[in-house]
Structure 1
Amino acid sequence: MSTERITRSAAGKVVVVTGGARGIGRAVASALADAGAVVALGDIDASTVASTGTEIGAATARHLDVTDPASFTSFLAEVEKTCGPIDVLINNAGIMPVGRFTEETDEITRRILDINVYGVILGTKLVLPKFLARGRGHVVNMASMAGENPTPGMATYCASKQAVLSFTETMRLEHRGTGVRFSAVLPTFTRTEMITGTRAPRALLAEPADVAAAVTALIARPRRRVSVTRTAGVLAAFNKLTPRPIGEFMARRLGVHRTFIDVDRDARRAYDDRLAAD
């Protein structure tokens, strides 16, 4: 798809990006702003999202707790007041604590599910009535390859992303013919703070810009799902077609079975500390 067509499709659209202060969310928001979209950023980190909004030229950037109905409702109302009717909601906010399941506290388990799953469901529930009334709108949910490829060291995260995939597909089927579109984005390991301290296989790595480009193209031409990178998507599809022992053997050869268990906790401390503080 040409850059001109993508820019023409995004220009003037009011796009909400949750979890927009850093990483993939920031990259997506920046790409959309460059394409002429009216971008609204929300994030639990109020100071960082404000500075990000200024740096990328967002129309608005505010505190948002995607697990709190009052916060999400207020945020969306302010976006519509400031920017106009929302065209696209990108449910990007998510967290990814890693390590053995037996070492995961109940608090962290609940936070993963609250942010990664409930936040997606809540955001969708809040924008959907107006989308349906207008007969148009697009919900883009950030899932993960991990939702289809169980990965040791991130059991709850994998479960949360599988839930996002199932929810997105169900919404698509339930609202077929209404003019409202639903899409899932499945990034592979992406070079953000989330994989700090891990040894993610280089062949499977994506850059935030790769995900941003895929999301921008997805808004121009909605599809039910897109994998990032294409190579990782092909490998994942191939893995589904191979006998399970072979697929698991290949994962072990790539080191995936240890990637999120043998982690450098010192390197990862800043990310883990921020999760505990939010």
Structure 2
Amino acid sequence: MAFKGNVVLITGAGSGMGQLAAWRLAAGGAKVAALDINEKGLAQTAEGKPGIKAYVVDVTDAEAVNRVVAQAEQDLGPFDRVINAAAIMPFGKLLEQPTEQIRRLMDINYGGLVNVSKATLPGMLKRGKGDFVSFSSMLGQMPTLFTGAYAATKFAVSCYTEVLYHENRDQGVRFVCVCPPAVKTPLLQQAVDTVWPKILDANPPIKPEEVLDALEVSLEKGEFWCLPGKGTRIGYIMRRLLPNAVWKEVHKAEGC
């Protein structure tokens, strides 16, 4: 594992990727501040894990995030890694999705990242060390039908994290933006329960363990973009070189 520090802060730690990351890092001896709005999920994350301390917070509330981050740092110490995994994932046609749902997607998936970065990154930069990890998605690189609102949030995550990295490069903090394909977590079920694009059936969802393994490799190699999963890197390149060909395949898969 590329982590050499002592204290980690993880958002979205009440389930899925954030929960698994918390368990892994705690098992390795780290002290973990687990943040989520899901109190029940957080209790499960921390149960029987003395290295994990749960903090219930809504990441869309900047003042609440600031308070919890300050409290967690007082409780556990300065952060050596921050993982932004909080997200929701309903799909649907853009003109059919409720406007409030689209705004909520952006508030959580992107706005939460902004709030956490403002609360944690200045201290990491001042100390000149640490890891700042954002979970985006391949849909934040290559959108498809029925995923427009969610993909827009992940494009925002990718852009924000990339610029954040370049504005603060060579100051001791390692930045990684993780862009996996579909991952087998409870988050994916939100999409399945709404509208599932047929193009995503081309490859089965990968395991979250594969994503976290790839994250550690990217950190070790000093790679900003982490692209887990078979064919993900090819898709990333295709989107840039042949966007019209990619959209042709999307429409073909959906039969429209």
TM-score, L = length of structure 2:
0.88
Q: Secondary structure, in 3 states, of the residue corresponding to 2:34?
A: strand
1:111-130 → structure 2 map (5 Å cutoff) = 111-130=104-123
Query: Residues 31-76 of structure 1: CA distance to partner in whole angstroms, max 9, x if unpaired?
Result: 2223332222110011221221225554211202111122211221
Contiguous gaps of at least 5 residues in structure 2:
none
Letter in 1 for 2:145: P
8 Å CA contact 2:26, 2:32 repeated in 1: yes
Please report how far the alpha carbon of residue 252 of structure 1 lies from its aligned counterpart in structure 2 after TM superposition.
Answer: 4.2
Aligned to 1:161: 154
2:240 maps to which residue? 240
CA distance in 2, matches of 1:139, 1:82: 20
Q: 2-side partners of 1:236 and 1:220: how far apart?
A: 21
Change (3 A) 1:215 1:35: farther
SS at match of 1:20: coil
Aligned to 1:89: 82
Contact 1:28 1:213 in 2 (8 A): no
Q: Classify 1:39/1:221 alpha carbon distance in 2 versus 1 (closer, same or farther; 3 Å).
A: farther
Q: Percent identity?
A: 31
Query: 2:41 maps to what in 1?
Result: 48
- In 2, Cα distance between equivalents of 1:62 and 1:184: 24
Indicate the SS of the match to 2:8: strand
1:185 pairs with 2:184: no
Which residue number in structure 1 is paired with residue 212 of structure 2? 212
SS at match of 1:206: coil
> When the two structures are aligned, how many residues end up with a matched partner?
248
- CA shift, 1:26, in A, is 1.4
Higher helix share: 1
Q: Single out whichever of 133-142 and 28-37 deviates more from structure 2.
A: 28-37
Deviates more, 1:176-185 or 1:26-35: 26-35
Q: CA deviation at 1:127?
A: 1.0
Consecutive unaligned residues of structure 1, counting only runs of 5 or more, are: 1-5, 259-278
| TM-score, normalised with respect to structure 1 | 0.81
2:129 matched residue in structure 1: 136
Tell me which moved more, 174-183 or 229-238: 229-238
For residues 184 and 88 of structure 2, what CA distance do their matches in structure 1 show? 14
| Residues 125-173 of structure 1: per-residue CA shift (max 9 Å, x gap) | 1112211221122211111100111111121111111111111111111
SS in 2 for 1:116: helix
Residue aligning to 1:264: none
- Find the aligned partners of 1:32 and 1:112 in 2 and give their Cα distance: 28
3-state secondary structure, aligned to 1:140: strand
In structure 2, relative to structure 1, the CA distance for the partners of 1:79 and 1:66 (3 Å cut) is same
2:144 aligned residue: 151
Residues 145 and 250 of structure 2 are in contact (CA less than 8 Å); yes or no, is this contact kept in structure 1? no
Q: Cα RMSD (Å) of the superposition? A: 2.1
Q: Corresponding residue for 2:226?
A: 226
Of 175, 180, 201, the residue aligned with 2:168 is 175
Would you say the 8 A contact 1:187–1:228 is kept in 2? yes
Partner residue, 2:101 = 108
How many Å separate the matches in 2 of 1:201 and 1:64?
34
Could you tell me which amino acid in structure 1 is paired with residue 9 of structure 2?
V
Shift of 1:242: 3.0
Whether contact under 8 Å (1:116, 1:161) holds in the other structure is yes
Distance 2:6 2:202 in 1: 35
Secondary structure of the structure 1 residue equivalent to 2:82: strand
AA aligned opposite 2:155:
Q
Compared CA separation, residues 243 and 223, structure 1 to 2 (3 A) = closer
